[in-house]
C-alpha cells in the first residue's frame, strides 16, 4: 500500500502555508496577491523622487514589486490587537518626506514609504534590510521581515 499524499489546506498551497498563516494567505489573495507576483516599481520611484525627494532602495523595491498596489480593508478583532487594514501604495507619503526623515532618524535606518495602515493613521515604511516599520508621530518596528509584518497586519498581532 502506497503512502497517502500530503494534506493540503483548501486553496492554500504547501509553499504558501509555510510562508505565513492560512488567514494571511486568504487576505492577501483576496487583495490580489499570488505566488510569483511582480509589478513594476519605476513609476513609484520616479514619482516619490520628484515630488518628495525619496530615493528608492533595494528593500523597498523588493517589497513593492511583490506587494505594491494591494489593499485590504478587513478590520476588527485580532489576536492581540485590532486588525487595521492596509494599503501598499507609497504615493500616500509623496508630500511627507519630512515625516519620513524624522521617522528614519528615530528608527536609525533609511525608511522608504510603502503605504499606510489603519485608515491612514499610520505610515508603513521599509528599511534597506527588509524590516518593516509603522508610525506617524513616532515609529515602531513592526517586524524584521515583510512576511512577518504582513501576518501581523492581517491577524492583528502586536
- Going from the N-terminus, what domains does the chain have, and what CATH number goes with each? 20-155 (3.40.1580)
What is the model's pLDDT at position 17? 53
Burial class (CB within 10 angstroms; exposed 0-12, middle 13-18, buried 19+) of 4: exposed
What tens digit of pLDDT does each residue of 42-91 get? 999 999 999 888 999 999 999 999 999 999 988 777 777 778 889 999 99
> CA-CA distance, 70 to 124, in Å (whole number)?
13
Contacts with 98 (C-beta within 8 Å, 6 or more apart), sequence order: none
What is the model's pLDDT at position 119? 74
Here the cell at position 55 is: 530615493
Burial 32-66, CB ≥16 within 10 A → b, else e: ebeeeeeeebeebbeebeeebebebbebbbebbeb
Answer positive or negative: Cα dihedral of 20, 26, 27, 29: positive
Q: pTM of the predicted model, to two decimals?
A: 0.85
Here the cell at position 87 is: 494599503
Share of the chain above pLDDT 90, in %: 70
What is the model's pLDDT at position 16? 52
Confidence band, pLDDT 50/70/90 cuts, at residue 14: very low
> CA-CA distance, 140 to 131, in Å (whole number)?
11
Amino acid at each position: 500500500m502506497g503512502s497517502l499524499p500530503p494534506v493540503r489546506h483548501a486553496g492554500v498551497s504547501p509553499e504558501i502555508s509555510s510562508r505565513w498563516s492560512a488567514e494571511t494567505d486568504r487576505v492577501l489573495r483576496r487583495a490580489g496577491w499570488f505566488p510569483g507576483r511582480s509589478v513594476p516599481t519605476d513609476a513609484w520611484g520616479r514619482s516619490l523622487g520628484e515630488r518628495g525627494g525619496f530615493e528608492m532602495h533595494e528593500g523597498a523595491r523588493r517589497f513593492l514589486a511583490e506587494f505594491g498596489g494591494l489593499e485590504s480593508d478587513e478590520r476588527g478583532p485580532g489576536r492581540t490587537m485590532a486588525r487595521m487594514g492596509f494599503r501598499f501604495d507609497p504615493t500616500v507619503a509623496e508630500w511627507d518626506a519630512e515625516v519620513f526623515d524624522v521617522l528614519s532618524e528615530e528608527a536609525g535606518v533609511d525608511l522608504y514609504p510603502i503605504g499606510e495602515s489603519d485608515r491612514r493613521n499610520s505610515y508603513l515604511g521599509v528599511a534597506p534590510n527588509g524590516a518593516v516599520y509603522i508610525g506617524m508621530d513616532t515609529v515602531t518596528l513592526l517586524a524584521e521581515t515583510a512576511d512577518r509584518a504582513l501576518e501581523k497586519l492581517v491577524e492583528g498581532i502586536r
